[in-house]
Amino acid sequence: MNRLLGPLIGLALYLGIVPLLIHGSSYWLTVFINISLLAFTSLGVWLTFYIGRINIAQGAFALIGGYAVAVLTTLHGWPFWLALPMAGLVAGLVGGVVGSTILRLRGVYFAMLTLCLTEATRLLALNWTGVTQGASGIIGIPTPFGGDSSYLQAYFFSALLLLAGLLAIWRITQCRMGRVFRALQAHEDLAASIGINVAQYRVLAFSIACAFGGLGGAVLTVFLQSIYPTSFNVTNSTDFMLYCFLGGLQFVLGPAVGALVLFLGFQLLSALGSYQALVYAILMVLAMLLLPNGLLSLRFSVRQKSMREGQV
Partner 1 sequence: MGLAPTYLGSVMSQIIVNGLMLSATYALIALGITLIFAIMNVMNFAHGQMYVLGGFMVYYTYGVWHWPFALSLLVAALVVAAVGLILERFFFRSVLRRSRREESTMLLAVGTALLLDSLALALFGEKQRGVPDVVSGVYHLAGAYIPARRLLIFAIAAVLTTAFIVFINYTRPGRALRAIAQDRETAALQGVDVTRYSALGFGLGAALSGLAGGLLISTDAINSGAGNLISIKAFIMIMIGGAGVVSGAIAGALVLAFSEAIGYYFIPGSLPYLLILTGLIVFLLFRPQGIMGRRWG
Partner 2 sequence: MSLLQVSSLSKRFGGLQAVDNMSFEVRAGEILSVIGPNGAGKSTLFKMIAGALKPNSGEIYFDSRRITGQPQHIVAQKGVVRTFQETTIFREMSALEHVVIAHHLQATSGAWGAFVNSGRSRREEEAIRQSAAEILNYLGLGHVQNEAAKNLPHGYLRALGIAMALAAKPKLLLLDEPFAGMNPEETDRAIEMVRGICMRGVTVLLVEHDMRAVMRISHRIVAVSFGRKIAEGSPQEIQNNPSVIEAYLGREDDELGI
Q: Which stretch binds partner 2 (CB under 8 A): 10-18, 85-93, 173-181, 223-231?
A: 173-181
By C-alpha distance, which of 268, 276, 279, 221 is closest to 72?
221
Exactly one of 23, 187, 303, 305 binds partner 2 (CB under 8 A); that residue is: 187
Q: Is the dihedral of CA 125, 69, 236, 115 positive or negative?
A: negative
198 binds partner 2 (CB under 8 A): yes
Q: Which of residues 143-172 bind partner 2 (CB under 8 A)?
A: 171-172
Question: C-alpha angle with apex 275: 271 to 279, nearest 5 degrees?
Answer: 95
Q: Closer CB to partner 1, residue 245 or residue 251?
A: 245
Query: Residue 139: which H helix or E strand, with range?
Result: strand 138-139
Contact call for residues 274 and 54 (beta carbons, < 8 A): no
Considering only the stretches 51-59, 60-68, 178-186, 224-232, report the one whose residues sit in contact with partner 2 under the rule CB under 8 A: 178-186
Cα 2–chain centre separation? 27
47 near partner 2, rule: CB under 8 A = no
**Distance (Å, rounded) from C-alpha 76 to C-alpha 68?**
11
Q: Residue 179 Cβ, how far from partner 1 at the closest point, in Å?
A: 21
Instruction: Report helix angle 26-50 to 58-70, nearest 10.
Output: 120
CB of 94 to partner 1, least distance (A): 13
Cα–Cα distance for residue pair 256/42, rounded to 1 Å: 8
Question: To the nearest whole angstrom, how small is the minimum distance from the Cβ of residue 264 to partner 2?
Answer: 31
Work out what residue 47 binds among partner 2, partner 1, none; the CB cut-off runs from 5 to 8 Å by kind.
none
How far is Cα 125 from Cα 222, in angstroms, rounded to an integer? 17
Count interface residues toward partner 2 (CB under 8 A): 23
Q: Using the minimum distance from each CB to partner 2, give the nearer residue, 167 or 281.
A: 167
Nearer to partner 1 among residue 115 and residue 219 (C-beta):
115
Report d(CA 238, CA 280) in Å as an integer: 15
Using CB distances below 5 to 8 A depending on partner kind, what does residue 198 bind out of partner 2, partner 1, none? partner 2
Of the residues 113, 177, 283, 291, which one makes contact with partner 2 according to CB under 8 A: 177
**Chain positions contacting partner 2, by CB under 8 A:** 171-172, 174-177, 179-180, 182-183, 186-187, 189-199
